Each structure stands twice: as C-alpha cells, then as structure tokens.
Amino acid sequence: MIVIRKFGAEWCKNCKELEKALYSFFDLVLKDKTIALESIDIDEDDSHDDVTKLPTIHILVDGKVDKILEGYSACLSLKDLVIPNIADASAMEDF
C-alpha cells in the first residue's frame, strides 16, 4: 500500500497552487485502491514537527516513509514517482 501524505496550510499560497496543478492527478490516484491520499493542515494537526517547509509530501510504502518532497517544485515530481505504481497506468497517458 502506498500513502501520499500531503502537508499544507490554508494560508500557504504554494499549497493552493500545488493543489490546482495536481488536481486531475489526485482525482485519478483516488480511484486506485492500492494508493491512499491524506491531506494534513499543519495548523490543525501540529504533531508533525518534521515538516519544516510547505508544501511537503511524504510518500509512504508499507507504512514507512520512502520519499519526502519539500517545496512546490519538488512536490510536482510526485507524478513521476507514483505513476509506475498505479494499477491502470494506461489512464496516466495524459500526465
């Protein structure tokens, strides 16, 4: 199981831009039963002291952090890291 855990905040402009940039991708990911998507607002959940830059995405594989993407540009590479693991990769041709 792969979990994409994205950290952001309501006031974070880059977090909102990332959401727009990856909207279609996230929509497709949610259809894959082997991948889960979690969104965490750091203002509401302060238990993640290891998040020092926004946006940040943690990619967890079998419950362990496999990759950490920090900042807008790094987070955009999420598609390249996750696409090979999507069950219906043919649906990803538009990305």
Q: What is the pLDDT of residue 71?
A: 96
The answer as to whether 92 is a domain residue is: no
Q: What is the pLDDT of residue 75?
A: 92
Number of domains in the chain: 1
Calculate Rg over the CA atoms of the chain. 13
With a cut of 50, which residues of the chain have pLDDT below it? 89, 91-92, 95
Q: What is the pLDDT of residue 8?
A: 96
The C-alpha atoms of residue 4 and residue 37 are separated, in whole angstroms, by: 5
Q: What is the pLDDT of residue 86?
A: 59
Q: What is the pLDDT of residue 87?
A: 55
The answer as to whether 33 is a domain residue is: yes
The answer as to whether 62 is a domain residue is: yes
The answer as to whether 94 is a domain residue is: no
CB 56 within 8 A of CB 75: yes
- Which CATH number covers residue 12? 3.40.30.10
State which residues form the domain around 18. 2-86
Across-strand partners of 67?
Answer: 59
The answer as to whether 45 is a domain residue is: yes
Q: What is the pLDDT of residue 49?
A: 82
The answer as to whether 93 is a domain residue is: no
Across-strand partners of 36?
Answer: 3
The answer as to whether 46 is a domain residue is: yes
